[in-house]
Amino acid sequence: MEQIVRTSKQLGAGIRRRRRSAGLSQAELGARTNLRQATISALEKGEPGTQLRTVIDVMTALGLEMVVRDRSKAAGKIEDLF
């Protein structure tokens, strides 16, 4: 799975898709990462306040990794997104 993520909601949606394709409930993913189900839910909704460590732990548990690169030209200015 490869997906460009520019917002917390997009990140959460990608994590949700991967969790579901792995056949895991939020509670099961929470158990694998020592996180509460509510924390997984908040992450998948893109709610503010999620710690970077939490995101990395969940991504690791789902076999995902993050790549940081220059923003593609087609995206425009960040001000145009909001």
- CA pair distance 43, 5, nearest whole angstrom: 14
| Residue ranges of domains in the chain | 8-68
CB 62 within 8 A of CB 33: no
Domain range 8-68, its CATH number among 1.10.1580.10, 2.40.30.170, 1.10.260.40, 1.10.1040.10 = 1.10.260.40
Rounded CA separation 55/53 (Å): 5
Report the Cα–Cα distance between both ends of the chain, in Å, rounded. 26
**13-38 tens-digit pLDDT:** 999 999 999 999 999 999 999 999 99
Q: CA–CA separation, 75 vs 28, rounded Å?
A: 36
Ramachandran angles phi, psi of 73, nearest 5°: -65, -35
Q: Look up the pTM and report it.
A: 0.83
* pLDDT of the residue at 3: 85
Provide the pLDDT for residue 74: 63
